[in-house]
A and B are shown apart, each in its own frame.
Chain A
Amino acid sequence: MPDTAVEVRQRIRELLVGVFGGPSFVSQVQDTASLREAGVPSTALVALLVAMEDAFGFEWDDDIRPEVLRSIDSLAGHVVALRN
């Protein structure tokens, strides 16, 4: 299971490829870019969150803050923080 922020970001990218857009789209999304503004629809964003639960072994809290879900970087930061 990936532990470092770099590994977690890479795993999130792999998951995003699986739920939306394919590798050519995901490779163009910057780590800190807003996923919604990059064109990821809400259905794909939720699918990514579900896939992250399986990949990283945790469940999202009901009261998760929106900024955590903004980008690949913020998502990875949440996972790394949970590990620590």
Chain B
Amino acid sequence: MIVEPAPSRGTVPRMSLETSWVAPPHGPAEQFTAGRRAAAAALAAAGSAERTVPRARDGRPLFPHGFAGSISHTGRLAVAVVVPGAEAVGVDIEPAAVPPRTAAFVLREQERRLLLPPGGPHTARDLFAAKEAAFKALNSLGTLGEFLFWQINLGHAGGVLTATYRGESVPVWIHARTDLSFAVAIRR
């Protein structure tokens, strides 16, 4: 998958991105396996000698030191991103449309007004994925306590979509296709 830059969203940073199909019956075990397969491929592409990604007690994937990464999956597709040298990375893919009630639940009024049409270029599904990706990156810092992804604030800063929670920020890049939204948050 190629993450294409858009002028209003800043230049997409270099990253190793790999995907893997989820095998039938597409359950949690198969999704986990596909995610780890994608992560191993992304680590290999990034130059890591270590290719395994164990699971932390809280469920987070533990990438090798120096190779920050993240995994996301749907019932059919897993994706992994690795950014060598980054402090934190979060990725999310969302295939399902986000109905207005769900959008109103996860997006504040200001976010809806500034980022959704006609005020902004994104779809509710894009922004849902952006908050999930940002949550993974910010949560991996381990300094913000427990929080929920929709408690993150989205806004534009310097032409880049930026996610902020309790004073900590991370830029987020979005790639939207007709069948899914892909978002990656990278904190250097």
Q: Tell me whether B102 is interfacial, beta carbon within 8 Å.
A: yes
In the complex, the answer to whether A36 meets B151 with C-beta atoms within 8 Å is no
Interface residues of B (CB under 8 A from A): 27-28, 31, 59, 74, 94, 96, 98-99, 101-102, 105-106, 128, 132, 146-151
In the complex, the answer to whether A47 meets B27 with C-beta atoms within 8 Å is no
In the complex, the answer to whether A47 meets B59 with C-beta atoms within 8 Å is no
In the complex, the answer to whether A36 meets B105 with C-beta atoms within 8 Å is no
In the complex, the answer to whether B106 meets A46 with C-beta atoms within 8 Å is yes
Interface residues of A (CB under 8 A from B): 36-39, 41-43, 46-47, 49-50, 60, 62-67, 69
In the complex, the answer to whether B151 meets A62 with C-beta atoms within 8 Å is yes
Q: Using Cβ atoms and an 8 Å threshold, which residues of chain A touch B59?
A: 36-37
Q: Using Cβ atoms and an 8 Å threshold, which residues of chain B touch A63?
A: 151
Q: Contacts A49-B105, A66-B146, A69-B148; is A37 near B28 (CB within 8 Å)?
A: yes
Q: Using Cβ atoms and an 8 Å threshold, which residues of chain B touch A49?
A: 105
Distance in Å: Cβ of A17 to nearest Cβ of chain B: 17
In the complex, the answer to whether B102 meets A46 with C-beta atoms within 8 Å is yes
In the complex, the answer to whether B105 meets A65 with C-beta atoms within 8 Å is no
Q: 16 A–B contact pairs at CB < 8 A?
A: A36-B59, A37-B28, A37-B59, A38-B28, A39-B28, A42-B132, A43-B96, A43-B98, A46-B102, A47-B102, A50-B102, A60-B105, A62-B151, A65-B146, A66-B146, A69-B148
Q: Using Cβ atoms and an 8 Å threshold, which residues of chain A touch B74?
A: 41
Please name the residue on chain A nearest to B26 by beta carbon. Answer: A39
> What CA separation (Å) do A46 and B151 show in the bound complex?
13
> What CA separation (Å) do A49 and B149 show in the bound complex?
14
Distance in Å: Cβ of B129 to nearest Cβ of chain A: 10
Q: Using Cβ atoms and an 8 Å threshold, which residues of chain B touch A47?
A: 99, 102
Q: Which 9 A-B pairs give the minimum distances between C-beta atoms? A: A39-B28, A66-B146, A43-B96, A50-B101, A46-B102, A66-B148, A46-B105, A50-B105, A47-B102
> What CA separation (Å) do A1 and B129 show in the bound complex?
34
Distance in Å: Cβ of B180 to nearest Cβ of chain A: 12
Distance in Å: Cβ of B109 to nearest Cβ of chain A: 12
> What CA separation (Å) do A50 and B99 show in the bound complex?
11
Distance in Å: Cβ of B150 to nearest Cβ of chain A: 7
Please name the residue on chain B nearest to A66 by beta carbon. Answer: B146
Distance in Å: Cβ of A58 to nearest Cβ of chain B: 13
> What CA separation (Å) do A33 and B94 show in the bound complex?
24
